[in-house]
Chain A
C-alpha cells in the first residue's frame, strides 16, 4: 500500500470504457483477427474490474479470478486462432461478411 491510491470507481469506469471499446470493435470490425482482439480487450476489462474489486476488499480472490480469466482467454483465443487458420485456408479471406453463408 501507499503511493498513488486510485479510488475503485475510477478503475471501474476505466474498465467500463475498455469494455465498450472491445464491444464496439467487435461490432464494427469485420476482420476475424480484429474481432478476436476486441474479444480479448473485453475479457481483460472484466479481469481489471475484478482486480480493482479485490483491492477494495483487500482479498486475493480478485487476483485469482484475474489469473483464471487470463488462462480462459488464452484457451479461447488459441481455439479461435486455430479456426482462423482453417478459415484462411478454406475461404481465402478473413472477412466475416464474405464468410457469411448462414443466414440468421
Chain B
C-alpha cells in the first residue's frame, strides 16, 4: 500500500493544480470582465461573420446502419484476435472452431449484402424492389 501511496501523490497534486488553474482563469475573467446582456451577447463570435443554418444537420440513415454493423463486426474481431494470440496452444481444434466462426461471420455479411443493408442511396432490397422504391419516394 505504501508503494501505491508514493506513486499516487504526484497525480493528486497535478489534479488539484489543474482545478486551481481553471478556477483562477474563469474566476478572474468573471471578476474583471464586463457584464452586459445585449442582443448580440450570446451570438458565437466567428471572426465577425454570422453563422448560418442549424448545427443539427440531418444525416442519411445509411450512416447509422454502417455504424451499427461496424460495432458488431469490430467486436467479433476480438475473438479472432484471442485465437491468434493462442494460435499454437489451440492447434487444430482451435483452427476448426475459428474457421466455423469466420464462416458464420461471412454468412452474416452475405446476408447483409444480399438484403441491401450495405447499399448506398436508394435501397434495392432483393425480392421487392419496386415496392421499396415507392416507399422511399413517399418519405
| A residues in contact (CB < 8 Å) with B | 4-7, 67, 70-71, 74-75, 77-78, 81-82, 85
Residue on B with the closest CB to A78?
B68
Closest A residue by C-beta to B86: A60
CB distance from A99 to the nearest CB of B (A): 19
Within 8 Å of chain A (Cβ to Cβ): is B137? no
The answer to the question of B23 belonging to the interface, with a C-beta cut-off of 8 Å to chain A, is no
Q: Any chain A CB within 8 A of the CB of B40?
A: no
- The interface size of chain B toward A, counting residues with CB under 8 Å, comes to 18
Q: 22 pairs across A/B with beta carbons < 8 Å?
A: A4-B4, A4-B7, A4-B8, A5-B3, A5-B4, A7-B1, A67-B79, A67-B82, A70-B75, A70-B78, A71-B75, A71-B76, A71-B78, A71-B79, A74-B71, A78-B68, A78-B71, A78-B72, A81-B64, A82-B68, A85-B61, A85-B65
Given contacts A71-B79, A81-B64, A82-B68, 4 further A-B pairs with CB under 8 A are A7-B1, A70-B78, A78-B71, A85-B65
Chain A residues touching B, majority SS: helix
Q: Are the CB atoms of A6 and B68 closer together than 8 Å?
A: no
A77 touches B64 (CB 8 A): no
Q: Compute how far the CA of A22 lies from the CA of B42 in the bound complex, rounded to whole angstroms.
A: 33
Determine whether the beta carbon of A81 is less than 8 Å from that of B68. yes
Output the residue of A4, A5, A74, A82 with the most chain B CB within 10 A.
A74
Q: Closest residue of chain A to B74, judged by CB? A: A74
Closest to B73 in A: A74
Query: When chains A and B are docked, how far (Å) is the Cα of A67 from the Cα of B76?
Result: 10
Q: Separation in Å of the A29 CB from the closest CB of chain B? A: 19
